[in-house]
């Protein structure tokens, strides 16, 4: 009897906790009414991360983190011997690629609508931290199949740390666990991919979502909304007059609609075009005695890779390798610094900021060029186009403070 009573009390406590959570979501979390489907990208990213996590657990059951077993465990055991192993591998590979597509859309929607301004700097910074950690997660996972491109990409990327003054060479050996990419490297990257980095990602996701409360989400018109006042209108029954809606169930139902539509596209890729996420060269076992004619990273890293190799000449006493490394570092830090480089304090979308709109379009075009040429051999004309595109990228961010000051001044004159 005592045990049954305890079970009943536990059940009631759970029901009360759920009711309390629903009440909090309906009364404390509010979202602007005038937002479009692009505001659902965050929910899409959470969905894709969940898909990656679940499919990764299934793959983990059969994967062997050993240089003599890794390739066969992926390409034979999982793909041919495990029931539906091919499906889980395709889901994992496609979601790993598509998550960066959605991440880039999410980033550039934020840039377009100025979602990093007016107290929202922490939202942007935590989001960029997620991008960096996801990049490390993707790179560590790309090495695990131990294919030819996996091996040589790891060789090239770990070599980059050798450019760090004083500690560079020692750092490369420490990261690899050896003087070259070997079994110790694979084991370390396996640990990073399945344990450490996912835990860090989940922690930063919590930080990112919590930071949305200060000072709330912005909207597509750049209008400052008094959330407390508008929420009172909504709770008083003036739904049409209120400029906000509750996160649950109104706003989240829109997210569910976008997620459902996206999943149709996602599973179309999984079943019919999964090969776009799998490099053909990576279906050859890793061979440290045979270098591929052209080494390149996955498509979502190509733009920064091209910025790095775009500088193929020495500048005074600085070698081409060091110049490229500096440019690579700048390219990755530049997006993180946007809230501080943008000197226009008003929250306006890009189409209401004439010079910033031109800057935004040039940035998108330049990134497309960098991505396109990042996969091509850096020879002849390709090398010079890469140099120009890399230079334009750096110049755009150097000019951003001046451009945004001019836009702010123009608004002031109006």
The larger pLDDT score, comparing residue 399 to residue 240, is at 399
Q: Angle, nearest 10°, between helix axes 183-191 and 168-176?
A: 80
- On the question of pLDDT at 210 being above 90, the answer is no
- Please write the tens of the pLDDT for every residue from 120-140: 889 999 999 999 999 999 999
The mean pLDDT value for 172-192 works out to 91
- On the question of pLDDT at 414 being above 60, the answer is no
- On the question of pLDDT at 160 being above 90, the answer is no
- On the question of pLDDT at 1 being above 50, the answer is no
Confidence of residue 244 (pLDDT cuts 50, 70, 90): confident
- Please write the tens of the pLDDT for every residue from 190-207: 999 999 999 999 999 999
The mean pLDDT value for 215-237 works out to 75
- Average of per-residue pLDDT values in the chain: 86
Distance CA 289, CA 248 (A): 57
Q: What is the pLDDT of residue 28?
A: 60
Contact predicate 12/79, CB 8 Å: no
- On the question of pLDDT at 4 being above 70, the answer is no
Number of alpha carbons in the 13 Å side-chain half-sphere of residue 234: 21
Q: What is the pLDDT of residue 157?
A: 87
Q: Angle, nearest 10°, between helix axes 121-143 and 148-160?
A: 130
- Please write the tens of the pLDDT for every residue from 285-322: 988 888 888 888 889 999 999 999 999 888 888 888 88
Provide the 10 A C-beta neighbour count for residue 348.
Answer: 18
The mean pLDDT value for 350-368 works out to 94
Number of alpha carbons in the 13 Å side-chain half-sphere of residue 157: 24
- On the question of pLDDT at 116 being above 70, the answer is yes
The larger pLDDT score, comparing residue 188 to residue 251, is at 188
Domains of the chain: 2-292 (1.20.810.10), 296-414 (no CATH)
- On the question of pLDDT at 8 being above 80, the answer is no
> Quick one: three-class SS letters along the chain?
CHHHHHHHHHHHHHHHHHHHHHHHHHHCCEEECCCCHHHHHHHHHHHHHHHHHHHHHHHHCCCCCCCCCHHHHHHHHHHHHCCCHHHHHHHHHHHHHHHHHHHHHHHHHHHHHCCCCCCCHHHHHHHHHHHHHHHHHHHHHHHCCCEHHHHHHHHHHHHHHHHCCCCHHHHHHHHHCCCCCCHHHHHHHHHHHHHHHHHHHHHHHHHHHHHCCCCCCCCCCCCCCCHHHHHHHHHCCCCCCCCEEEHHHHHHHHHHHHHHHHHHHHHHHHHHCHHHHCCHHHHCECCCCCCCCCCCCCHHHHHHHHHHHCCCCCECCECHHHHHHHHHHHHHHHCCCHHHHCCCCCCCCHHHCHHHHHHHHHHHHHHHHHHHHHCCCCCCHHHHHHHHHHHHHHHHHHHHHHHHHHHHHHHHHC
The mean pLDDT value for 163-187 works out to 89
- On the question of pLDDT at 381 being above 50, the answer is yes
High-pLDDT (> 90) share of the chain, %: 54
Q: What is the pLDDT of residue 16?
A: 53
């Amino acid at each position: 009897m005592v045990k049954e009573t305890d079970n009943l009390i536990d059940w009631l406590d759970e029901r009360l906790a759920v009711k309390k959570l629903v009440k909090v979501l309906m009364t404390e979390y509010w979202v602007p009414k005038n937002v479009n489907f692009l505001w659902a990208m965050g929910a899409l990213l959470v969905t894709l991360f969940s898909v990656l996590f679940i499919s990764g657990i299934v793959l983990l059951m059969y994967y062997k983190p050993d240089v003599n077993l890794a390739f066969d465990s992926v390409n034979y055991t999982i793909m041919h011997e495990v029931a539906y192993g091919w499906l889980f591998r395709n889901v994992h590979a496609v979601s790993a690629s598509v998550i960066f597509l959605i991440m880039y859309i999410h980033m550039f929607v934020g840039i377009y609508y100025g979602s990093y301004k007016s107290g929202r700097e922490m939202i942007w910074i935590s989001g960029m931290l997620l991008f960096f950690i996801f990049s490390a997660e993707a790179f560590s996972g790309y090495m695990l199949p131990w294919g030819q491109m996996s091996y040589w990409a790891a060789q090239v990327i770990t070599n980059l740390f050798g450019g760090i003054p004083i500690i560079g060479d020692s750092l490369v050996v420490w990261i690899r666990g050896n003087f070259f990419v070997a079994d110790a490297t694979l084991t370390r990257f396996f640990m990073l991919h399945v344990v450490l980095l996912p835990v860090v990602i989940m922690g930063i996701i919590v930080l990112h979502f919590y930071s949305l409360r200060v000072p709330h989400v912005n909207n597509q018109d750049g209008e400052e909304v008094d959330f407390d006042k508008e929420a009172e209108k909504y709770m008083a029954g003036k739904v049409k007059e209120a400029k906000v809606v509750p996160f649950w169930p109104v706003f989240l139902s829109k997210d569910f609609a976008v997620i459902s539509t996206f999943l149709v596209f996602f599973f179309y890729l999984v079943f019919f075009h999964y090969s776009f996420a799998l490099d053909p060269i990576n279906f050859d076992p890793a061979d440290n005695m045979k270098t591929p004619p052209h080494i390149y990273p996955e498509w979502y890293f190509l733009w920064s890779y091209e910025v790095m190799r775009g500088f193929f000449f020495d500048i005074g006493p600085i070698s081409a390798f060091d110049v490229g490394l500096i440019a690579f570092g700048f390219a990755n830090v530049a997006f993180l610094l946007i809230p501080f480089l943008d000197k226009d304090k008003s929250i306006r979308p890009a189409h209401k900021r004439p010079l910033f709109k031109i800057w935004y379009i040039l940035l998108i075009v330049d990134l497309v060029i960098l991505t396109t040429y990042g996969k091509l051999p850096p020879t002849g004309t390709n090398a010079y186009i890469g140099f120009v595109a890399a230079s334009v990228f750096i110049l755009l961010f150097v000019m951003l403070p001046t451009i945004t000051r001019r836009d702010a001044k123009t608004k002031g004159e109006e």
